[in-house]
Structure formats: C-alpha cells, structure tokens
Amino acid sequence: MIKKNTKLIKSKAIDLGFSSCGISKATFLKEEVIRFEKWLKNNMHGKMYYMQNHFDKRLDPRLLLDNAKSVISLLYNYYPNEIISSDNNYIISKYAYGQDYHIIIKEKLKHLIQFINKEIGNVNARTFTDTAPLLEKVWAAKCGLGWIGKNTCLVNKKNGSFSFISEIIIDIELEYNQPIENYCGTCTKCIDACPTGAIVKPFIIDANKCISYLTIEYKGDLPTELKDKFNNRIFGCDICQDVCPWNKFAKPNNEPGFKPNEKLKKMKKDDWVKLDETEFNKIFKNSAVKRTGYKGLMRNIHFLS
C-alpha cells in the first residue's frame, strides 16, 4: 500500500505540472542545527528577523503538523520562454516575470491534496510554498531532487536551478527517497560572478550584500558603496544562477501564468523612472513584484538612475 500510494502521489504531481517530486521521512534535521545557528549568529540574515523565529519548527516538521510522517517536496519550473531584453532597461528576476508563484502553486497543491483524500483516504496535511518556517531547500535535497549549490540554490541535474520549491507535510508513511551527490565539484563560477561578494564562501550567503535581499526584503536606504554593482537590477538577481553550468539544461516552463505582461516586455529605463502607482498596479497585478511595493520599487529605480 505504501508503494502504491507513493506512486499515485508522484504521478499526480507530474500531471499537475510539477517537474519533480521526492519524499522524505519527517524527522529532526540535526545536521542543520550548527550551520543554521552560526549563520544567524553572524547576522548574515540581515534584517530578516523572522528567520530567528520558530527555530525548532524550522528544523523539525513534526512541530508543524501533528503526527507528521512524511515531507513531500516538489519542484515547479519557472525558466522563461523568452528573456526580457536588458538593453537600455532595468532588470527584474526571472521568477517575477509573470503571476505570483504563490497563487499558482498553492492552487496545484490544493488539487494534489484533494486527489490524495479521494484516492488514498482522508489525511491530515499542510501545504507550503515559501510561506512557513521550513528549510525548503534542505528538504528538497534530502529526498534527492537536487543538491544545494555553492550559491545556496537547489540545483537539479536535469533542469538546473530555476525552480520553485514547495512541500506537503502529511500524516501517512510513504516510500522515501535518498539524497544525491553534490555535483558542484571545484566550480566557483557563481562565487566569482557575484558582483557584491554576497557568496562569502561556498554554500554561505551574506544577505546584507545580496542584491536580491536588498531590492526585495530590505526596507532601508540601499548601501551607496554597492550602487555600481547592482548591474541595473531593481527586483531580485539571477547572476549566480545565470552563470551556473547546470543551467544550460534549463528548459522553458509550460505555465501560462508565468508569461510576462506585454507592457513589462516593452519597458525601457525611461518608462521605469516615469512609472506611477496606477500603472504599477496594472502591470504587476497578482505579481511577486507587489512584495516590494510601488515605493520600494521606485526606491530601487531612483537608486540606480
């Protein structure tokens, strides 16, 4: 029955558009304790103070769901069909081209739970996609969906690193997958390419220097000493992923919701500078860019203009 249920869940996940599905036993991540504590102690989380909260829950999914038995990890490809031109333009991260991934993936996770309840029986489960104190990349690596690269992104051997990660914590036992080898080898392309030196050593990011953190999460004045290193990026940063050799295997996604707004594709620097809040709301309706808000985005634009 365990084998059958596992096969049913993985098959349905692929039918729903997920590129990969792996499963781990819900347990305490004791090997992550020292690494995570040290990262926090060194203040490498910047002003993301929420990272300090629910420390125990981040390391043990059984604290997020009573009687949790399994963690189902899923990848959803977001590599775009076309790259928006950077010519005389400001740049936003590829993951924010289209509709907010939370909206799309949450709906798919809901359908997967409905399927499980119908085909396997009523279960107790919780779904997550970047919305809970859960070390998502660790769980995805634990079940063999990839390995955590030197830029701290999850890298999949077949599809590279342009994937969203989501999870289902569930109260039934399933067949568990094993982690795979780390294939970064001696490569340091991501470290060498980071313009701000945010990858302070392999597998460690200092958020205080990270363009993605600074343009999205950080709410204060941007550090003037880094102004010339932003490379026209106003929301997120893909540099460490773009140079990763494994991303030569990245394939365009098949999700209609990830297609960029036509107005966004035509934007040039002058258009960004003149952008008003009404137009911002039209272009970025249901977009991840809403996270930084109009004022935050204009702060980033004016910082570089």
Q: Catalytic positions, please? A: 130
Between CA 127 and CA 119 the distance in angstroms is 18
Beginning with the edge strand found earlier in the chain, give each strand of the sheet holding 163-170 in spatial order.
20-25, 70-77, 163-170, 125-128
Torsion of CA 117, 122, 123, 128, to 10 degrees: 40
End-to-end alpha carbon distance in the chain: 61
Q: Are the CB atoms for 88 and 160 separated by under 8 Å?
A: no
Q: Are the CB atoms for 221 and 49 separated by under 8 Å?
A: no
Sign of the CA dihedral running 273, 274, 277, 281: negative
DSSP characters for 267-297?
A: --HHHHHH--HHHHHHHTTTBGGGGTHHHHH
Strands 70-77 and 20-25: antiparallel
The closest of 109, 242, 246, 245 to 164, measured between CA atoms, is 109
Torsion of CA 136, 141, 143, 144, to 10 degrees: 140
